[in-house]
Chains A and B, each alone.
Chain A
Amino acid sequence: MSDSFNIVLAGVGGQGTLLAGKLFGLVAARLGLDVKVSEVHGMAQRGGSVITYVRIGKRVFSPVIEPGAADFIIAFEELEAMRWAHLLRRGGTLLINTRRTIPMPVALGQAEYPDNIIESILALADGGTSVHAFDAQRLAEEAGSVKAVNFVMTGALSRFIKIDKQIFMDSIQELFSGKKAGLAAMNQHAFELGSAIIEAK
């Protein structure tokens, strides 16, 4: 692993991918590396599919991660994992929150939520690719809020990325400075739980 990382955060509007993206920005700044975090605004609050790209390295150009160029994908939802899996490079790591968020066409009976998404993904993953699926929402609730799914997922990712855990912890502290300082400890706890779930597997 070099000191460049391409991370895709794929989720649904309202799941906190933007905040997780911002966290990686702070982490990169602490590492003294270049960083680009590309966000999607506008439709994000309205239940749409939302993708955030994080690129960290000595020098980063395009803010968008191309198909096959992501080292990591953090999928906040199963369907979004399937939608964006092709962005992962060979030998990359895919982390999936197994909680489903039903899209409106499925709720209306106009489309089917595919069965066995994890199994399909595992079957198609080539040799060096690693896939980890777990219920991040349960861990977030355990930490204190369903809204902490983003930090659970980031904690899980920290097991695969060569960045000192303390840098993440300090960055979470920085992210929740000021009025929101009370939330830092809870989110750090969520991060720890996410990190531990990978260890336990």
Chain B
Amino acid sequence: MRVLKEIFLGNEAVARGAYEAGVKVVSSYPGTPSTEITQAVSSYDRVYCEWSSNEKVGMEVAIGASLAGARAMTCMKHVGLNVAADPLFTVSYTGVSGGLVIVVADDPGMHSSQNEQDSRNYARGAKLPMLEPADSQECLDFTRMAYDISEKYDTPVMIRLSTRVSHSRTLTEIHEPMEQKLIPYVKNMQKNVMMPAMAVKRHVVVESRQKQIAADSSDGILENAYRVEEGSKDIGIITSGIAWQYVKEAMPDASVFKLGMVWPLPLDAIRKFAATVKRLIIVEELDPIIETELKAAGIKCEGKELFTLQGEYTPAMIREALSDNKNPLSAFDKSALPLAPGRPPVMCAGCPHKGLFMALSRLKAVVTGDIGCYTLGALSPTNAMDVCVCMGASVGMAHGIDKATDSEMSEKTVAVIGDSTFLHTGINGLINSVYNGSRSTVIILDNSITGMTGHQQNPATGRNIRLEPAPAVDLEALCRSVGVQSVYTVDPADTDASRKTISKAMKEPHVTVIIARRPCALIPTGRGTPEQVVTLDRDKCTRCGACLRIMCPALTKGEDGYPQIDPVTCNGCNLCVRVCPFDALIPGKEEV
């Protein structure tokens, strides 16, 4: 039989692995670097998949699917697992019927995240087996294997990815998908209803299950749980995932103990390996999980005294710490080259958030922020954000500010939150604010898409993951129904009107919501038309630079000082037309 190979992203390989294992239900909330997994699943017609409203809901849907006897999966980024932590810790007690796989993608180096927590802590905390693939092939193989482990040991299985594994394409051998029949449903309250009397007994099961898995891993009963790569006995390295790739690059001669299952650890096998090498080194990005366990077990090793707790590792880092091996020689001395000015990400041409943040900037508002493209409003030139913590936090923080200052700050404080983020966890905060008599103001930036993660649908967009029509949440009606007395709708491209409405709303003595509605400029409904593209009247332009300060990527300063408009990039939002004091920028035929 011909071996079929695809060049898969790690994420696409996880999706393929689940498909091959006969997964029936996949429910996730998007989050970089995990998003493409569920996106890729949606290309397999026979799998039910959805964008859930948040990670906790996504996990609960998968738990229900498993209980009903199907193989299920939920995927999220590392901070999403915080949201889903509540069901995680208790589904460990109930176990599964159909195999249940929980995929979490960490982001060492914070390419696109607000922190760099290490999800292995959750596997340890929830006492769940966790696999960590090092490339796309392992992503596929380990995902298939995870279902077998899940059903064999009656446990959810976690898979930990990291940005470099999720977002690297490597050759991946694929197979035919398996047929999986539903496991017949059996009511079992002792196992599935976690009240104290039942849970006490289940905790005993969890502890013995973990011991059994660790023993089976050590004994080689669990395929791929670890692999010993024989080499020089001077140094033995224990590592896993992407760090293993860096180790192989930097230390080709060392003995390596590669973990495929990073929790629970095969301590007996590790002890045997440790006895064969002079120095035992742990190479693990982020937290010293393996190191701490080994030291607690009395196995002598070195780890974080040699390597950092922060960011991504590199082969050079490992080479320098452990060997006399030389780093490659560069053609250019970096310090001799002139420093390249930074290229920070900016709001796109025509981005509807831009006008809103111009308005907030002019109001000098205190802005509690949230997670999405609009977090870029914190950057120059608007600088219009005071705090950003996690999904949904803006609403509660604005309420807290109101209560702490006896409403003194409320006339100039607003929360900003996107449509998807609002429905993720912002709505809970809003209910709380209304209930507790807040006088805070919330702006919902409704761009009709989940933008930052690459344009996923959400409950307010009217489409599901497969772009089929779906019911759309009426945001105005939703806010009114939880008791918000004043709900306004504005067009954020109309900066002046938006500013006036925000100013008015902030003075009202109760919770107010402003829905700033305009579709993202990168989706079909938000894209400008050639008729709306802006041109410059050089006779009127005084080169004052007001238009350049909106930081539109389509507008740059020409060598003669006049603004240059890139007609390819210009989206026709006409924000620049509105900020020009001299009417020198001419909108297209159709006024917006």
Report B1-53 residues with CB < 8 Å from chain A CB. Answer: 5, 7, 9, 32-33, 36
Report A68-112 residues with CB < 8 Å from chain B CB. Answer: 68-69, 79-80, 82-83, 85-92, 94, 102-112
Q: Verify if B579 is at the interface (C-beta below 8 Å from A).
A: no
Please state if B331 and A103 are interface contacts (CB–CB under 8 Å): no
Q: Verify if B577 is at the interface (C-beta below 8 Å from A).
A: no
Q: Which residue of A lies closest to B522 (CB)?
A: A45
Please state if A62 and B246 are interface contacts (CB–CB under 8 Å): yes
A45 to B523, CA, bound (A): 12
Which chain B residues border A66 with CB–CB below 8 Å? Answer: 249, 314-316, 327-328
CB distance from B398 to the nearest CB of A (A): 26
Q: Verify if B164 is at the interface (C-beta below 8 Å from A).
A: yes
Which chain B residues border A120 with CB–CB below 8 Å? Answer: 337-338
Which chain B residues border A89 with CB–CB below 8 Å? Answer: 328-331
Please state if B167 and A106 are interface contacts (CB–CB under 8 Å): no
The stretch among A18-26, A156-164, A178-186, A188-196 that forms the contact with chain B is A18-26
A25 to B454, CA, bound (A): 22
Q: Verify if A167 is at the interface (C-beta below 8 Å from B).
A: no
Q: Verify if B343 is at the interface (C-beta below 8 Å from A).
A: yes
Q: Which residue of A lies closest to B112 (CB)?
A: A42
A188 to B287, CA, bound (A): 48
Please state if A36 and B135 are interface contacts (CB–CB under 8 Å): yes
A94 to B557, CA, bound (A): 29
Please state if A102 and B568 are interface contacts (CB–CB under 8 Å): no
Q: Mark B320-345, 1 if CB is under 8 A from A, else 0.
A: 00000001111111101110111111
Please state if B331 and A125 are interface contacts (CB–CB under 8 Å): yes
Instruction: Give how many A residues have a beta carbon under 8 Å from the other chain's beta carbons.
Output: 66
Please judge, given known A-B contacts A36-B135, A104-B551, whether A67 and B328 are in contact too, CB under 8 Å. Answer: yes
Q: Which residue of B lies closest to A83 (CB)?
A: B340
Q: Verify if A146 is at the interface (C-beta below 8 Å from B).
A: yes
Please state if B171 and A34 are interface contacts (CB–CB under 8 Å): yes
Please state if B170 and A35 are interface contacts (CB–CB under 8 Å): yes
Q: Mark A13-39, 1 if CB is under 8 A from B, else 0.
A: 100000001100110110000111111
A89 to B326, CA, bound (A): 13
CB distance from B242 to the nearest CB of A (A): 8
Q: Verify if A153 is at the interface (C-beta below 8 Å from B).
A: no
Which chain A residues border B36 with CB–CB below 8 Å? Answer: 41
A83 to B340, CA, bound (A): 6
Please state if A103 and B341 are interface contacts (CB–CB under 8 Å): yes
Please state if A88 and B169 are interface contacts (CB–CB under 8 Å): no
A103 to B336, CA, bound (A): 22
Please state if A107 and B557 are interface contacts (CB–CB under 8 Å): yes
Among B7, B33, B336, point to the contact of A124 (Cβ < 8 A).
B336
Q: Verify if A170 is at the interface (C-beta below 8 Å from B).
A: no
A34 to B170, CA, bound (A): 8
Which chain A residues border B171 with CB–CB below 8 Å? Answer: 28-29, 34-35
Q: Which residue of A lies closest to B330 (CB)?
A: A68
Please state if A104 and B553 are interface contacts (CB–CB under 8 Å): yes
- Dominant SS at the B interface? loop
Which chain B residues border A146 with CB–CB below 8 Å? Answer: 568
The stretch among B67-75, B176-184, B373-381, B415-423 that forms the contact with chain A is B373-381
A41 to B165, CA, bound (A): 12
Among A28, A39, A92, point to the contact of B167 (Cβ < 8 A).
A39
Q: Verify if A49 is at the interface (C-beta below 8 Å from B).
A: yes
Q: Which residue of B lies closest to A78 (CB)?
A: B340
Please state if A42 and B334 are interface contacts (CB–CB under 8 Å): no
A28 to B169, CA, bound (A): 12
Please state if B330 and A109 are interface contacts (CB–CB under 8 Å): no
- Dominant SS at the A interface? mixed
Instruction: Give how many B residues have a beta carbon under 8 Å from the other chain's beta carbons.
Output: 60
Which chain A residues border B341 with CB–CB below 8 Å? Answer: 79, 103, 105-106, 111-114
Q: How many A-B residue pairs have CB under 8 A?
A: 189
Report B175-209 residues with CB < 8 Å from chain A CB. Answer: none
Please state if A47 and B329 are interface contacts (CB–CB under 8 Å): no
Please state if B557 and A46 are interface contacts (CB–CB under 8 Å): no
Among A36, A68, A90, A117, point to the contact of B170 (Cβ < 8 A).
A36
Q: Verify if B586 is at the interface (C-beta below 8 Å from A).
A: no
Among A35, A41, A92, A125, point to the contact of B454 (Cβ < 8 A).
A41
CB distance from A179 to the nearest CB of B (A): 13
Among A47, A113, A124, point to the contact of B348 (Cβ < 8 A).
A47
Which chain A residues border B487 with CB–CB below 8 Å? Answer: none
Report A34-60 residues with CB < 8 Å from chain B CB. Answer: 34-43, 45-49, 60
A28 to B6, CA, bound (A): 11
Q: Verify if B409 is at the interface (C-beta below 8 Å from A).
A: no
Tell me which of B36, B171, B522 has the highest count of chain A C-beta atoms within 10 A of its own C-beta.
B171
Please state if A86 and B332 are interface contacts (CB–CB under 8 Å): yes
Q: Mark B94-105, 1 if CB is under 8 A from A, else 0.
A: 000000000000
CB distance from A110 to the nearest CB of B (A): 7
Q: Which residue of B lies closest to A87 (CB)?
A: B330
Which chain B residues border A198 with CB–CB below 8 Å? Answer: none
Q: Which residue of A lies closest to B545 (CB)?
A: A109
A79 to B339, CA, bound (A): 9
CB distance from B237 to the nearest CB of A (A): 13
Which chain B residues border A34 with CB–CB below 8 Å? Answer: 170-171
Please state if A88 and B332 are interface contacts (CB–CB under 8 Å): yes
Please state if B330 and A49 are interface contacts (CB–CB under 8 Å): no
Which chain A residues border B501 with CB–CB below 8 Å? Answer: none
Please judge, given known A-B contacts A43-B345, A103-B341, A114-B338, whether A124 and B327 are in contact too, CB under 8 Å. Answer: no
Which chain B residues border A102 with CB–CB below 8 Å? Answer: 556-557
Please judge, given known A-B contacts A34-B171, A103-B342, whether A88 and B331 are in contact too, CB under 8 Å. Answer: yes
Please state if A109 and B557 are interface contacts (CB–CB under 8 Å): yes
Q: Verify if A64 is at the interface (C-beta below 8 Å from B).
A: yes
Q: Verify if B278 is at the interface (C-beta below 8 Å from A).
A: no
Which chain A residues border B548 with CB–CB below 8 Å? Answer: 107-108
Q: Verify if A12 is at the interface (C-beta below 8 Å from B).
A: yes
Q: Mark B229-260, 1 if CB is under 8 A from A, else 0.
A: 00000000000001001101100000000000
Q: Verify if B283 is at the interface (C-beta below 8 Å from A).
A: no
A41 to B168, CA, bound (A): 10
Please judge, given known A-B contacts A46-B373, A63-B164, whether A41 and B112 are in contact too, CB under 8 Å. Answer: yes
CB distance from B292 to the nearest CB of A (A): 26
Q: Which residue of A lies closest to B381 (CB)?
A: A108
CB distance from A68 to the nearest CB of B (A): 3
**Partner-B contacts on A (CB < 8 A):** 12-13, 21-22, 25-26, 28-29, 34-43, 45-49, 60-64, 66-69, 79-80, 82-83, 85-92, 94, 102-114, 117, 120-121, 124-126, 129, 146
17 A-B pairs in the complex with CB atoms less than 8 angstroms apart: A21-B169, A25-B7, A26-B7, A37-B170, A45-B348, A46-B348, A67-B327, A68-B330, A69-B328, A88-B330, A90-B330, A94-B331, A103-B342, A103-B343, A107-B548, A114-B340, A114-B341
Q: Which 10 A-B pairs have the closest CB atoms?
A: A68-B328, A42-B112, A46-B345, A111-B341, A68-B330, A86-B334, A63-B168, A83-B340, A25-B7, A48-B345
Known contacts A68-B327, A108-B380, then 18 further A-B pairs from the complex at CB < 8 Å, ordered by chain A residue: A26-B7, A37-B168, A38-B169, A41-B33, A42-B32, A46-B345, A48-B343, A48-B345, A49-B342, A67-B334, A69-B328, A89-B328, A94-B331, A104-B344, A107-B557, A109-B557, A111-B342, A120-B337
